[in-house]
A and B are shown apart, each in its own frame.
Chain A
């Protein structure tokens, strides 16, 4: 199947700094990518839908100025957590939609710890 890769897998940062997480579709083009957040022992919460070449669509309650999403190419979407705080510590997962089939593939996730 198709491969979606996230980088970094783990990141620890100080409060107030910004962190960028990359999501790449390695062997297919993804018109649409999704960013999820997963709290410990809880389900995935959709944060935003990222469309190549246009602004991301954020779910209700997600701060778009806090979680900046850029989808500059058909194989790369980035999530930047700006001015991170400890409450932003979480597991962030992206998924990419295969353009012609709509099938979704997930990245391995990125664990963010804000000290």
Chain B
């Protein structure tokens, strides 16, 4: 079956530090890959996505590249802000459907 594995948190960083959250997946076919962000007390928001191998998704300074050879979709940001404190979820959708499979989520805390 499909699965998504991401690094466990919490990840605590200082402002302006570099952030990487690892995400690897197992899926049949060619899934689309997503990163969602959940701010405290809110629902999920789509952060970025990539639909095919070597695609790079980017938004709000965050980037992730779809690496089929390593089945990975690591999230990176060069300089985090306090406002980036949230829980980040890596997810996939199989090519043939629209059910999202989520990773366990990684809580990120950015301190001033």
Q: Mark B71-103, 1 if CB is under 8 A from A, else 0.
A: 000000000000000000100000000111011
Q: Give the distance to chain B from A108, nearest Cβ to Cβ, in Å.
A: 4
Docked-complex contact B43 and A43, CB < 8 angstroms: no
In the complex formed, the residue of B with least CB distance to A93 is B43
Counting contact residues on chain A (CB < 8 A from B), the size range is 20 to 34
The total number of A-B Cβ pairs within 8 Å is 41
Interface residue? A44 (CB, 8 A): yes
B69 at the interface (CB under 8 A from A): no
**Contact B42–A104 (Cβ < 8 Å):** no
Q: Report the Cα distance A73→B45, complex, angstroms.
A: 24
Interface residues of A in 13-58 (CB under 8 A from B): 32, 34, 41-44, 46, 49
Residues in chain B near residue A1, CB distance under 8 A: 46
Given the interface pairs A43-B89, A44-B89, the reply to whether A106 lies near B45 with Cβ below 8 Å is yes
- CB nearest to A46 among chain B residues: B99
In Å, the complex CA distance between A97 and B100 comes to 11
Q: For B105, list chain A residues within 8 Å (CB).
A: 41-43
Q: List chain B residues, Cβ under 8 A from A109.
A: 42-43
Residues in A with CB closer than 8 Å to B44 are 44, 93, 95, 106
Which of A6, A44, A49, A97 contacts B102 (CB under 8 A)?
A44
Residue in B42, B46, B98, B103 whose beta carbon sits within 8 Å of that of A43 in the complex = B103
Interface residue ranges of B18-64 to A (CB < 8 Å): 36, 42-46
Q: Which residues of chain B are within 8 angstroms of A4 by Cβ–Cβ distance?
A: 43
**Whole-angstrom CA separation of A106 from B103 in the bound complex:** 16
Contact assessment for B43 and A107 in the assembled complex, using a CB-CB cutoff below 8 Å:
yes
Query: Which A residues are in CB contact (< 8 Å) with B98?
Result: 32, 97, 102, 104
Extra 4 A-B pairs, beta carbons < 8 Å, given A43-B104, A44-B100, A104-B46: A32-B98, A34-B100, A44-B44, A106-B36
